[in-house]
Amino acid sequence: MNLFYLVAFLSIFFSLLVIFSKNPVYSVLYLIVTFFTFTIHYVLLNAQFLAIVNFIVYMGAILVLFLYVLMLLNLNKDSEPMKSNLLKVAGIIAGLCLLLTLAGSLKLVHVSDPVVLKNPDIGLVKNLGKVLFKEFLLPFEVSSILLLAAMVGAVLLAKKDPNKA
Amino acid sequence: METITQSIQAVPLNHYILLSSIIFAIGTIGVLIRRNAIIILMSVELMLNAVNLLLAAFSVYRGDASGQVFVFFIMALAAAEVAIGLAILTMIYRNTNSTDINILNRLKW
């Protein structure tokens, strides 16, 4: 029980550091730590497949892509554009209003039952694979088309325009 | 593994919802207060992950594996989104020499 609150505190702390650190490279590194705490959350929920996928896809692939582009574009603290203080305060107030609304509506619904593992092997690879390839076969295939389209689009967009160059 | 999963037993569902709301709000604040487009993309990733965690918690709470399959689909979608977003960013950087979103207020250059 205490482990959950410790990890939750770390998640919130590092995600605050992500958005408030001035240097974009530090932001990416803090985001990696944040995603690692999310992986711990998945392990605590016994969702082992999601923990591994989160570890490999998010921390391994997506954040390396972020870091790579950041270093390719040579962004650092000096070139970092900052908003004016007024806009920052307005943004923080707007975000806190959103949080207040969500927390307030949460107080009304009174679902306070503890999260109990009814079925301990629900998050294991064997069980999830069966669900994925029986009930969600069509969405699975469609998502492969999505990934192919994304790959083609990314190559097409990032390629140099032959008319200009 | 038994001892690890034992520790989750007493956490109320409300606290999971609250944690996800806080992280989602932090992501929203990040989108609102930063001008670097890469940081904005990272904040969007943070929001996606908050929703992922909540879906996984609900899935365990209900004893239904569909929620975790949805998290898997969201991860595939996030990977595609990041690839396209960063490709667009590199193109913008090549044209304007910065990733400041305030330069992009006229949609042509």
Is A149 within the bounds of a domain? yes
- Residue B52 maps to a domain: yes
By residue range, what is the domain housing residue A127?
2-76+118-158
Is B85 part of the contact surface with chain A (CB cutoff 8 Å)?
Answer: no
With respect to residue B67, please indicate whether it lies within any of the assigned structural domains.
yes
In a domain, B2, yes or no: no
**A15 vs B27: CB contact, 8 Å cut-off?**
yes
pLDDT band at B64 (very low <50, low <70, confident <90, very high): confident
- B87/A155 CB distance under 8 A: yes
Best mutation target, A3, A10, A19, to test chain B (most B CBs within 10 A): A19
* Cα(A116)–Cα(A38) distance, integer angstroms: 19
Are B19 and A8 inside 8 Å of each other by CB?
A: yes
CA distance A160 to B4: 51
Residue A9 reports pLDDT greater than 80:
yes
Interface of B with A in 13-42 (CB under 8 A): 13-19, 21-30, 32-36, 38-39, 41-42
- Structural domain includes residue A96: no
Asked if the C-beta of A38 comes within 8 angstroms of chain B's C-beta atoms, the answer is yes
Work out the burial of residue A88: count CB atoms within 10 Å of its CB; fewer than 13 is exposed, 13-18 middle, 19 or more buried. middle
- The verdict on B86 touching A (C-beta cutoff 8 Å) is yes
Residues near A112 by beta carbon (within 8 Å), at least 6 away in sequence: B12, B13, B14
List pLDDT tens digits, range B4-32.
Answer: 555 556 678 888 889 999 999 999 999 99
Domain count, chain A: 1
Half-sphere exposure of A118 (CA within 13 A, CB side): 11
Count of the separate structural domains present in chain B: 1
Residue A47 has pLDDT above 80, yes or no: yes
The arithmetic mean of pLDDT across residues A103-107, rounded, is 86
| CATH classification of the domain holding A154 | 1.20.120.1200
Residue B27 within any structural domain of the chain: no
User: What is the C-alpha separation between A39 and A48, in angstroms, rounded?
Assistant: 9
Q: Tell me, yes or no, if B96 comes closer than 8 A to chain A by beta carbon.
A: no
Residues in chain B: 109
Which residue's entry shows tokens 């949080």?
A99
Q: How far is it, in rounded angstroms, from Cα A30 to Cα A16?
A: 9
pLDDT for A164 equals 60
Q: Is the ipTM of this complex over 0.90?
A: no
Using a CB–CB cutoff of 8 Å, tell me whether A138 touches chain B: no
Q: How many CA atoms lie within 13 A of A130 on its CB side?
A: 8
> Is the pLDDT reported for residue B90 higher than 90?
no
* Domain extent at residue B87: 36-101
A117 vs A130: which has the higher pLDDT:
A130
Instruction: Tell me the one-letter amino acid at A115.
Output: V
Residue B97 lies in a domain: yes
